[in-house]
Structure 1
Amino acid sequence: MTHRQVMQSLTGLLMGMFVSILAGTVVSTSLPVILSDLHGSQTAYTWVVTATLLATTISTPIWGKLADLSNRKLLLQLSLLIFVVASAIAGFSQDTSMLITMRVFQGLGAGGLTALTQIVMADIISPRERGKYMGLFGAVMALGTVGGPLIGGFITDAINWRWNFFVALPFAAVAIFLIQKTLHLPEQPKRKVTIDYAGIVLLTAGVSLLLIWVSLAGSQFDWASTNTLLMVGGAMVALIAFVIVELRASEPIIPLTMFKNRTFTLSVVASISVGVSMFGTSVFLAQYMQLARGANATQSGLMTIPMMAGLLIISTIAGAMISKYGKWKAIMVTGSILQLVGLYLLGTIHYDTNFVLVSLYMFLLGAGLGMVMQNLVLIVQNAVTPKEIGVASSGIAFFRSLGGTIGVSVLGALMATKVGDLLGSKSAELQAAIAALGDQGKAIGAAIAGGSIPAVHTLPDSVRTIIESSYGDSVAYIFMIAAPLSILTILAVVFMPNLALSSQTRQERADTDAADAMLEAAELNLVDVSESLIAVTPGMDTEVATARR
C-alpha cells in the first residue's frame, strides 16, 4: 500500500480510537455530579469506574482471538457499535444500576477497539514501517485523554451531564462510515473454527473475581477477611481450570504455547509494569493537582498536559527513528529507564514543589511511556507467526490493562492509608485551625470526619495547607512505591531477543511462509523419489545426483 492508501485506511481506525478514549474520559470530571443526581453511594461510584476497566480487561483477549478466526473489519465495526449504543443508553440512566450495566457494555466495546486497532495495523503496515505511524495513535490518545475531561467539565456546567454520553455519537457514526469506505483488508482463507466457550467463562470468572477483590478490599472489607479468602480462592480455582482447558482446547483464547516465545513472555512482564505507570499516574496525578495544589477538575486536566506532551512528541520521534533505521532495542531501553526516572522524581514532590519541576518530571515519564508502550505491541507482532498476531497483540493489551487495574486499586488503598496516617499525625494542628473558623470550621470538620473532603481550592488557607500537604506527600509516596516496578520493564526489554523488524505485512508474511512450506515439501518429495529410484534401479546413482543438482 502507498502512504496515501495507508493514511486513508487509518482515518477510520484513528476516529474509532478517539471515540473510545473520549467516551471514557469525558465523564471523569462529571462523575460526582452524576452520582449525586442518581443518588448513588460511594460503592456505586467505585463500580461505575471499575465496571468499564473490568469489562475492557476481560474482553480484550477474546476480541483478539475472534480476530484470528473471522472478519476483522466487521468485528471492528461491531465493537464500535456496541460501544456507542451503550454510551447512548447510559445517557438515559435513571439509577446507578442502569448506569453500571451500560458501563460494562462500554467496556466490552472498548476492549474490541483496543485489540483490533493494533491487529488491523499489522494487516496493512509492516513492522519496519509501523513505527512512524505510531505517533498518530499517540496524538489521538493524548487528545482524547487531555481533551475529554475538559469537554466533560464544560458540558456538565453548560448543559447537562447526560450529554457527556451523547457527545461521542457523531464521531462514532463518522468512524463506522470511514472504516467501511476506506479500510480494505486482505481476504482471509475461510476455515472451520471452534470457539473456546469454557475458556471464555473461566477467564471471565477468574479475572473478574480477582479485580473485584482488589477494587473492594481495604474499603468495603478488610484485606485479611473471609471475603478475601473466598474471592481469591475462587479466582485461583477458576484460573487453574482455565490453564487446564487452554492446554486441551483446539482454538484456545490465550494459547499458552506462546509463552515459549521469549519476546512474548518478556513483553507481558513489561506490559504489566507499563500498565501500572500509565493508568496509575493518570489517576493519581489528577488527585495531586486537585487535592494537593487546589486545582478544579478542568484545571487539573490542563496541568497534566506535560505528561501527554512527552508521550506524544517522543513517541512520534521514536517511531520515525525505528522506521528509518530498523533498530528498536536502544530506544526501548532508553524509554524504560526514563519511565523509572520519571516515577522516582515524582516520588519526591510535595504540595508546594515548583510546578516547572513537576512538569519536567511528568514530561520525562510521558516520554518513557511513549518510547515503550506502543512498541511492545510492535515487537511482539514481529516475533510471532502471522496466525498468532491477533491473539498476541490482544494478550499484551490484556496484561497492560490487568496491571493498570490492579495497580490503581492497590496504590489507591495504600494512598488512603497514608492520607489517614498523615492527617492523624496533624490532628491537633487541624482541629485548632478548624476551631478558629467558627461555624464554617464546624461544617468543614464534619465533612472531613465523614470521610469526604470539600473542594480544596475553596478552603481557608489555614486548613487548606494541612490538607494539601497530606495529599501531596501521599501521592508522592505511592509514586515512590511504583517506581521499582519499572526495573522489571528495563530487565524485560534488555533480555528480549534483538530481532530484526520484518518489511512485510501480515498477509505477505503468511504468503511467504506458505510458499516456503510448499518448497520444503517439494524438496522432501524429490529426495523420497530419488531414494526409491536408487533402490530399484541399478546404476541410477549418477543420474539421480545430476537431477538433484
Structure 2
Amino acid sequence: MSDINHYNLAKDKINMVIAGLMVGLLVAAFDYSIMGTAMPQVINSLQGMEYYVWPFTVYMLTSTISIIFFGKLSDIYGRKHVLIAGIGIFVITSVMCGFATNMFQLILFRGLQGIGGGILLSLPFIVVGEIFPPRDRAKYMGIVGSVFGLADVLGPILGGVITDNFGWRWIFFINVPIGIAAITLILYSLPNFKLPDVKKIIDVNGMITLTLTLSSLFLALTLAGDLNTYSLTEIIGILIFSGVMFILFCRAEKKAAEPILPLNLFKNSIFSISALESFLASALMFSGIIYVPLFAQGVLGISATNAGLLMIPMLLSLTLASIVTGQIISITGRYKMLVIAEFLITGIGVVLLSSMNADTPYYLLVAYSTVLGIGSGMAYNIFNVAVQNAFTLREIGIVTASMRFFRNVGTIVFVPVFGYIMNYTLVSSAAVNFSKIQALVLSIQNIFLLAILLAFAGLIFAFFLKEIPLAGDTPSISMKFLEGN
C-alpha cells in the first residue's frame, strides 16, 4: 500500500488499521440485517408483539445522537480511545441484550447498544480522513464502507443459521469475538492522535437539547402512523415541544465554548448542501431496502427467503458502486459530476419502481432495485470526501460525523413518513373496496412517488454544490496532532 498518509505509518500498520476499522464497522453493520431475521423468535420468546419495532427504533435513535456526541469527544480524547470505547460498549451491551428476559429489558439494552453503534458508524471514516490525503480518502472509504454490503448480503443468512441452530440470543453473543478481534487490531496499530488545542469542555446543554429534539421528533412521527390510537393534538404537542428544544439547542450552540455541532459549519455551502444531500440520499436508499422485499412478498407472492435473495443484486450493486465511485474520485480528484449522476441514477431507479404493479415479473423488480442500489452506493462516501476537503484537519472529526448524523436523521424522519403513507393509502383503498394486493400496490407506488420528488430535489441541489478539486498529497493547511498512549 503505497499511498501517502498523514501519520506516515508503515505499510503493515496501515493494513492493520484498515482491517481493524473494517472489523469494527462490521460488528455494527451486521446488526440490522441479523436482527431482522431473528426478531420473530425474539417475540416468541419474550412476548410483546406490540413493541416489535422498538428494538430497532430505539437503537437508531441513540446511535444517531451518539454520532455527534462522540465525534466531538474524539477531538478531545483521541480517535483511538473513543473507537475502542465504542467497540467495548457495543460488545458489553450485546451480552446484556443476549441475557434479556423481557421486551422492556431488550429495548433498554438496545438503546445502550446504539451508543456503541453510533461510534462505530462514524469514527472509522474520521480515521480514514485523517490518515490519507484528500485524493485517496474516497478510495479507502469505499473499501472500509464495503462491509455494509457484505453485512447486508450475509446478515440475513447468518442470522437465520444462528437463530435456527443456537437460538436468538447468540446473534448478540457472536459480537463478542468479533469485537475482541477489532479491539486487538486497533489497539496495536492505530496511534491515538488528537487535536492539541481543543478545550476539554463538554457541551452539556447542547447534548440535552439535541437529545430532546430528536427523541420527541422521532416519537411524534412514529405515533402519527397510528392516529386511531393517538390523537392529532398529542402528536402536534410533541412536535411543538421538539421545535422548542431545537430553538434552545441552536441558542446553546451559539454560546458553547466547544459546541457539539458548531453552527458556523453551515456557513460553508459545501457542508450545508452535503448535509441536505446525505439526508435525502438515506431516505431514497431505505425506500428500496424496506419496500422492495415487501412488494416481492406481498404482491408477487414470493417467499421471505427468496425475497431476501432478490435483494442481493441491489445490495451488491450498492457496495460495488461505493468502491468504484471512490476509485473514480481518487483518479480524477473531482466529485460534483458524480453527485449529479448519483441523483439521476437514483431518480431513474425510483421512477422504475413506482411503475410496478401486480403483473411486474420478478426479474424487472431485481433490475429496478439494482439501479436504485447503484445510485445509493455512489452517494455513500461522496459527501464525506466533499466536506473533509472543504475544512482543515482540525475539523475533519465533526464534519465527518455530521454527514453520518444527517444520513441517520433522514432515516429517522422518512421511515415513519413512508409508513404513514402506506397506512393512509391502505385505509383509503379499503374504503373503495380495493383488493389487498391492489391496495398494497397503490401504497408502494405512492411511497416511490414521494421518493421521485426527493430524488428530483437532490438533483437540483447537486448543481449548487461547489467543487474544490482534491489534492493528491497532504493538504496545504496542516495541523499538528499530538500522539497519546
Q: What TM-score do you get using the length of structure 2 for normalisation?
A: 0.92
Evaluate the alpha carbon distance shift between residue 503 and residue 509 of structure 1 in structure 2; reply closer, same or farther with a 3 A threshold.
Answer: farther
Is the aligned partner of 1:135 residue 2:134?
Answer: no
Assess if the C-alpha contact under 8 Å between 1:138 and 1:311 holds in 2.
no
Q: CA deviation at 1:424?
A: 4.5
Conserved? CA contact 2:19–2:185, under 8 Å? yes
Q: Report the counterpart of residue 478 of structure 2 in structure 1.
A: 510
Question: 1:547 matched to which residue of 2?
Answer: none
The equivalent of 1:482 in structure 2 is: 451
8 Å CA contact 2:195–2:480 kept in 1: the answer is no
The corresponding residue for 1:231 is: 238
Rate the CA distance shift 1:138–1:196 in 2: closer, same or farther, 3 A: closer
Partner of 1:459: none
- In structure 1, how many angstroms separate the alpha carbons of the residues matched to 2:313 and 2:188? 36
- Kindly indicate whether residue 23 of structure 2 is the aligned counterpart of residue 15 of structure 1: yes
Count of residue pairs brought into register by the alignment: 473
Q: Secondary structure at the match of 2:201?
A: coil
Matched with 2:77 is: 70
In structure 2, what is the equivalent of residue 202 of structure 1? Answer: 209
Q: Which moves more between the two structures, 358-367 or 130-139?
A: 130-139
Q: C-alpha separation between the residues in 2 aligned to 1:140 and 1:286?
A: 21
More divergent stretch after superposition (294-303 vs 28-37): 294-303
The match for 2:49 among 29, 37, 41 is 41
Instruction: Tell me the distance in 1 between the aligned counterparts of 2:338 and 2:171.
Output: 38
1:104 partner SS = helix
State the Cα RMSD in Å: 2.1
- CA drift at 1:505: 4.9
| Deviations, residues 48-100 of structure 1 (Å, cap 9, x unaligned) | 22101111111111111112222111100111111121111111111110000
The answer (yes or no) to whether the contact 1:19–1:172 under 8 Å persists in 2 is: yes
Higher alpha-carbon Rg: 1
Retained in 1: the 8 A contact 2:33–2:156? Answer: yes
Residue identity in the other structure for 2:15: M
SS at match of 1:510: coil
Kindly state the Cα deviation for residue 512 of structure 1 after the two structures are TM-superposed: 8.6
Residue 248 of structure 1: how far off its partner (Å): 0.9
Indicate yes or no: 2:234 matched with 1:266.
no
Contact between 2:125 and 2:141, CA under 8 Å: does it hold in 1?
Answer: no
- Whether 2:220 is the aligned partner of 1:213: answer yes
Q: 1:496 aligns with which of 451, 465, 468?
A: 465
Alignment of 1:348-497 (within 5 A): 348-426=355-433, 466-497=435-466
Q: Offset at 1:261?
A: 0.2
- 1:398-433 deviations in Å (ceiling 9; x for gaps): 111111111010111111222233344446xxxxxx
Which residue type is aligned with residue 123 of structure 2? L
Any idea what the Cα deviations from partners look like across 1:222-249, whole Å, max 9, x if unmatched?
6762211321111111110110111111
Shift of 1:314: 2.0
Change (3 A) 1:512 1:153: closer
User: Which residue does the alignment assign to 1:522?
Assistant: none
- The runs of at least 4 consecutive aligned structure 1 residues that moved more than 6 Å come to none
Contact 2:349 2:368 in 1 (8 A): yes
- Cα–Cα, structure 1 residues 210 and 346, in superposed 2: closer, same or farther, change >3 Å? same
1:125 maps to amino acid:
F
The match for 1:123 among 127, 130, 133 is: 130
Q: Which runs of 5+ in 2 are unaligned?
A: 4-10
* Distance in 2 (alpha carbons) for counterparts of 1:510 and 1:334: 32
* C-alpha contact (below 8 Å) 2:224/2:235 kept by paired residues: yes
> Are 1:28 and 2:27 counterparts?
no
1:5-31 deviation digits (Å, cap 9, x = unpaired):
433311000001111011232010221
Q: Deviations over 1:121-180 (max 9, x none)?
A: 111111201122233234211111121122212222233111111222211111111111
The gaps in structure 1 that reach 5 residues or longer are 428-465, 514-549
My pick for the range that moved more, 272-281 or 194-203, is 272-281
Task: Output the TM-score relative to the length of structure 1.
Answer: 0.82
Task: Report if the CA contact (8 A) 1:62-1:200 is conserved.
Answer: yes
- Residue 51 of structure 1: aligned partner: 58
Q: CA deviation at 1:104?
A: 0.4
SS at match of 1:484: helix
Q: Which amino acid aligns with 2:359?
A: D
Q: Does 1:94 align with 2:63?
A: no
Shift of 1:190: 6.1
Report the 3-state secondary structure (helix = DSSP H, G, I; strand = E; otherwise coil) of the residue aligned with 2:35: coil
Q: In the alignment, is residue 251 of structure 1 matched against residue 258 of structure 2? A: yes
Aligned to 1:534: none
Report Cα offsets for 1:270-327 as digits up to 9, x if no partner. Answer: 1111111122321222222222233343322211112112212222222111111212
**CA offset at residue 221 of structure 1?**
5.4
Quick check: 1:411–1:478 contact (8 Å CA) kept in 2?
yes
Aligned mates of 2:134, 2:47 — CA distance in 1: 50
How far apart, in 1, do the equivalents of 2:79 and 2:124 lie? Answer: 9
* Mapped partners of 1:181, 1:475: distance in 2: 49
- 3-state secondary structure, aligned to 1:26: helix
